[in-house]
Amino acid sequence: MFETQYTELWGAVDVIAERIRALGHVAPGSHAAFGKLSTLPDAPAEPPAALDMVRILVEGHEAVARTAREAFPLADKAGDEPTADLLTQRMTVHEQAAWMLRSLLEA
């Protein structure tokens, strides 16, 4: 499950960067640039216990889904269907991942 999420997220970075470029902006390309833009806390210095790691992933997926949901009306109002579609896709992926991870915590 985790490898699937990693692979999906890795591919999403490219798709999102392409959309940013299509809108005429420079996409961030370094860890430092991503860190400045992130609203998620960095990973703990000490490796967390397995279930704590799952909780951290759930919180991250939920936060990204919320951010996409908040950005959607802006893209919709601007008539930017490609960005609205991308946001819808990201909400779907992150909400599903959060749901699957939450099921591990409830088991």
Close Cβ partners of 25 (under 8 Å, ≥ 6 residues apart) = none
Could you give all domains of the chain from N- to C-terminal order, each with its CATH number?
2-34+48-106 (1.20.1260.10)
Amino acid at 39: T
Does residue 107 surpass a pLDDT of 80?
no
3-state secondary structure 81-101: HHHHHHHHHHHHHHHHHHHHH
DSSP letter assigned to residue 79: T
Average pLDDT on 7-31 reads: 94
How confident is the model over 24-50, as a mean pLDDT?
91
Could you tell me the two tokens for 92?
A: 């779907």
Q: Please state the pTM of the whole predicted model.
A: 0.89
